[in-house]
Structure 1
């Protein structure tokens, strides 16, 4: 399938968009090159699946250079998992989306997130591609799967969105950044629980000692203008990812018993939106998408 498009890093948006719509509903075994081995790969699932989309599908070589993946359109590609909850009826974000390492000096200096290069370099034009993580109990739905590693081949791609926060800044981004910045300026340690949309989450190797930070490994520490032993953290988009998905798919967020919005959506709503986005045809008429297959199997969970 990847060879049909093979668009590369210099593709125009029209070709990228066409390839993205064709990606919806596909399992990773349909996207990956034949040389990919889901069984023996020791890569973390998100890294492996991100490589499959970038290298096998979009034909963009993986490297460590600075700059966007689609160079001609200045688009950065991010691949991220969703998971089923509440008996398979609802969907939530499985994990936060990593952006960059926090520079505490820059954070404490800049009033607005748009002036933070660590963020603007990653949030110009961001193509977010969501896939659905399947729990090991789903193996019963696939006779050819016997291990958790093999199950990764069955994960389906369910949504994509070109997010452009620099052009249309979400107010929550500045609100959370201001809270993180002010906390850092006060000489206090940041934590994930402070915010929900833009979060500060550990991003380091080595051990960090909360009780006595001075006992932490050096690789877990970062320079800070007001703290001697600040933990090395990264900027992440956290619950905001589901808000981005819901808004782009034009589906509602769920509410709790108090009427407050929570970062979850109905699975049925997302699958319906996915069907409409995949060239506007119904699931049953798109044999090459195989959406009906996995939606039926997931209904059995």
Structure 2
């Protein structure tokens, strides 16, 4: 088995068997391609079957000179997953990454936007332009529903169940969940769809997509990042933010106001409650308030 065949089989496995999202598959693919490139550049003649721990150790050591600890840990995880696949398919009996030490990294959480920050960003949008109404609507949706950016750009008109007060979201691994949507955000979406989007020359294949660019096609993830970045610059916001910051803020604000952690887990689409617990960061004053309010010995 050569590297190209192994990588092709691996990516097919991730897509068909695991049902992973394309962005996740691309990430795993890049990890393996980095290893393949290293072997080619250094003229190391080993196959996916014959490569050993020493080769992997040297590869990681070389890569660590150019990437930080977090990226190094991510790379090791990606390579380890690839060799686990080879073991699963009986191509190998061992995983050459098993004895590698993953660098210790602290829990890194994105900055949280306050409600005032969010209002500042959204209120700075120029509503005199058609894309202004669209941008306000998509940011309101991003925050009020706690969506991932990929979920936002893939949101369909047929996913809107306003009478019931929910939207249907297709998350990681094509898993479906229903998320509540408030009436104000419903009004923004309805206004955008009926007053702005209706005048666009919608391209074939995007007739059901909620958020479109000026050419009538689905917005890209990069475009959402750009919109957020430009608004942060415009308002002079010093925090390093991204579309994911709105999702993080959604969850944090709900938790701070007493929302049940498992309810937040369902709305975020986390498989494990542990993920939701790590995702939140609570200040000590809030924890003290919870104890004072709910503990029988307060």
TM bucket (normalised to shorter chain) is under 0.3
Query: Which has more strand, going by share of residues?
Result: 1
More RCO (CA 8 Å, sep 6+): 1
Query: Which has more helix, going by share of residues?
Result: 2
